[in-house]
Chain A
Amino acid sequence: MPTLLEIKEIAPAFKQYLVETPEIARKHQAGQFVIVLLHDHGERIPLTIADSDAEAGTITLVVQEVGKSTMEMGLMSEGDQIEVVGPLGTPTHIEKFGTCVCVGGGAGIAPLLPIARAMKEAGNEVVSILGGRTKELVILRDEMTEASTEMIYTTDDGSFGAKGFVTNALDTLIEERGKPDIVVAIGPAIMMKAVADMTRPLEISTVVSLNTIMIDGTGMCGGCRVSVGGDSKFVCVDGPEFDAHTVDFELMMKRQRTFLSEENAARLRFLENHECQATKGTEVS
């Protein structure tokens, strides 16, 4: 079973895990993800791959602690073993488009990193717009800087970069320099929807990576289905990336709330049982 080699807290409630899993590391391509199971009472959770090193046989996962399982994962120790299956999903279509704008929000910056890097390696001009509520929540800044030709930051509180949302920055960018050849946007559904709504009338080709509820990740359950261009698609095998302009975000956001009450109850139960560790887990190191 794959071993957690290194666990680092990179932002409040954000942990970075270096996982030893040589076969997955060797095959991982930008845009793919894994499913993780912590123990035999656990649930299977899809997690994006932020990085991989084929030689070292490792992948890097960046996990935001939002629910019971991700918080529980945060309490694990280096040397612990977990079940990991992947790499799943269809890889990002990489080619030389010209100018590629990578828009990342919150935890969405993690899967954006390998895409930005691959886009740059393919000869694209990569302008990355990263946003978060506060500066410390704009994660992986150094890594993204290396993977991009230019960086733009936004924060809700203006503590870092421009005050406002990533869409404001994208708007300004397009106004000042014209339309990019492609936009890749990954972040909260509402952010991806806003980007799609902005680029659709401008006819800027835009790709989003969706993170829906999943069990197996191999096309078996259909729990992850989304409506794309009026057709039902499975995020796990047909995606996770889709043409942003044809995704029914409204429906997807509703579907993401399927187990809201169960998720909330599980999180509260977990916090009650692990109060001290969990509080510790959210401190900034």
Chain B
Amino acid sequence: MGRELTKKERMELPRQSMPTQDPLDRIKNFDEVALGLTAEMAITEADRCLECKKPRCVDGCPVGIDIPAFIHEMQEGDFEKALAIIKKANTLPAICGRVCPQEDQCEQVCVVGNKYKPVAIGRLERFVADWEVAQGGEIAMPERQPETGFKVAIIGSGPAGLATAAELALRGHSVTVFEALHKPGGVLVYGIPEFRLPKKIVEDEVGNLEKLGVEMRYNWVIGKIASVQELFDEYGFDAVFIGTGAGLPYFMGIPGEDNIGVYSANEFLTRVNLMKGFDFPAFDTPVGMGRRVAVVGSGNVAMDCLRTAKRLGAEEVICLYRRTRAESPARLEELEHAEEEAIDFRWLSSPVEIYGDDDARVAGVRVQKMELGEPDASGRRRPVPIEGEQYDVKLDTIIMGIGQGPNPLVTRSTEGLELNRWGNIVVDEETMMTSIPGVFAGGDIVTGAATVILAMGAGKVAAEGIDNYLRETVRVPKAQIA
């Protein structure tokens, strides 16, 4: 039974802080930084929830988890029921509990946060998901509806693809996920480091999908081995979902970017995470990082690069960002963790030229000092160069963490697919259907680089759209016609 507490008593309970590995220890390993709440802490944290009649947190959640309901079960100590409530809306809570920017979503609108610190909803979600794993896994396996006979192809096994696959499988459709790499998870595996999201969690979640009957195909580059049209015509799919993400790395377009030692964040992180380059030579892929490393940008990807470089033993790890900490797009927790790990943040600093030596290896970078001017279209104050204020930094490695665009492999090879001027796929937001009937899309390939949870939310909407399309428009599965 939960404790009887007054509203005031609940609000005055301190927000339970996340136990973490000590910064001095963790910069020497790739183990997870945030260790998770204990059961006792989790129940105390749950007790802070006021169970609002009109909960704003639910609207703040891109997948609409019934947050007060699951927290209520936690107050009662019934983690199993809490889990079942979460899983109704989100099949991948262990991932979301770790990588969601809760401070911009559910926790931002939490009423407790008006006067005190908001309820740590993300930590509670993570606790429940981890509790399930500790019990031996997959307790709240949702039930799969009877077979419909419809076949759906999902292109990409990142957050959007996995969420769509899970929803469609539960609705009884036959789902095949095509992944270009040799492992599933997309950005969850090649991008987000082990210390933030252990790969075991992604493997487990994919394993759960397979138990639901989802077929995974690796090393399938759609657009090359088969076109979207061929998935319909030759492989007999009734609908296709494109969740190919924002995989195209951006460079700055400044002189010297082709020097050796200039990496895209994608390349650096892929070498380390997907290919396990941190354990070279036990794994065959080298990373080739030097002693002095700079990362350009201050989003989550940049934080991942900075902290990875630190763990790989770089002596100097510098963050170059043209705005200030306040405009930094990273999750607050990542920023704080990076600061604890002694990353050298140089705010209002923008590289203008990279220098190489005679072998074209990076030797240094010229940095332009910036100041904040008038707000730009994004509402953030625009960084403008301060005339004459430039300085040089000696470097061996420079990593571009300034964003990614849509990967054009699928879009370029699909005739009739409407794109916007940035190359993102245009969809009907209600159904997520593209300009081609039966072809749906969601996640970063539609929105541009965003978050894991937004991609999952889009996947859920798309699954609903696909389900309706199959039942109302297609009506008879191809397999039954042939």
Contact = CB atoms under 8 A, between A and B. Distances in A.
Interface band, chain B: 35 or more
Contact of B221 (A88, A215, A269): A88
A269 B281 contact: yes
A257 B359 contact: yes
Interface string B260-284: 1001101100110011100011111
Given A254-B260, A259-B288, A221 B266 contact: yes
> What DSSP secondary structure best describes chain A's contact surface?
mixed
A99 interface: no
Interface of B: 180-182, 190, 218-221, 224-226, 247-249, 251, 257-258, 260, 263-264, 266-267, 270-271, 274-276, 280-286, 288, 359-360, 407-409
A87 B180 CA distance: 11
Contact of A88 (B224, B248, B281): B224
Interface in A229-285: 232, 237, 251, 254-255, 257-259, 262-263, 265-266, 269
Nearest to A250: B360
Contacts of A19: none
A42 interface: yes
A220 B260 contact: no
A221 B409 contact: no
A110 interface: no
Contacts of A41: 276, 282-284
A83 interface: yes
B247 A220 contact: yes
Contacts of A46: none
Contact of A262 (B220, B226, B286): B286
12 contacts: A27-B225, A85-B220, A217-B221, A218-B407, A220-B407, A221-B270, A222-B249, A222-B251, A227-B258, A232-B257, A254-B260, A262-B288
A260 B359 CA distance: 12
A42 B408 CA distance: 27
Interface of A: 23-24, 27, 37, 41-44, 68-69, 83-88, 215-223, 225-227, 232, 237, 251, 254-255, 257-259, 262-263, 265-266, 269
Contacts, number: 114
Given A254-B359, A255-B260, A43 B182 contact: no
A227 B257 CA distance: 10
Contacts of B282: 41
Contact of A232 (B181, B182, B251, B260): B251
A20 to B, nearest CB: 14
A183 B281 CA distance: 41
A9 to B, nearest CB: 23
B221 A221 contact: no
A223 B266 CA distance: 9
A256 to B, nearest CB: 10
Main secondary structure of the interface of B (DSSP, over half): loop
Contact of A216 (B224, B270, B360): B270
Given A237-B409, A251-B360, A269-B281, A84 B219 contact: yes
A37 B181 CA distance: 10
Contacts of A222: 249, 251, 263-264, 266-267
A23 B226 contact: yes
5 tightest A-B contacts by CB? A221-B267, A43-B284, A262-B286, A85-B219, A254-B360
Contacts of A254: 260, 359-360
A255 to B, nearest CB: 6
A42 B183 CA distance: 13
A109 B271 CA distance: 30
Q: Which of B181, B248, B409 has the most CB of A within 10 A?
A: B181
A87 B224 contact: yes
A24 B225 contact: yes
A265 B281 contact: yes
B266 A86 contact: no
A129 to B, nearest CB: 31
A220 B249 contact: yes
A218 B260 contact: no
A218 B284 contact: no
B34 to A, nearest CB: 27
Given A27-B226, A220-B190, 9 more contacts: A41-B282, A83-B219, A85-B180, A220-B247, A220-B248, A220-B266, A222-B263, A232-B258, A266-B281
B158 to A, nearest CB: 12
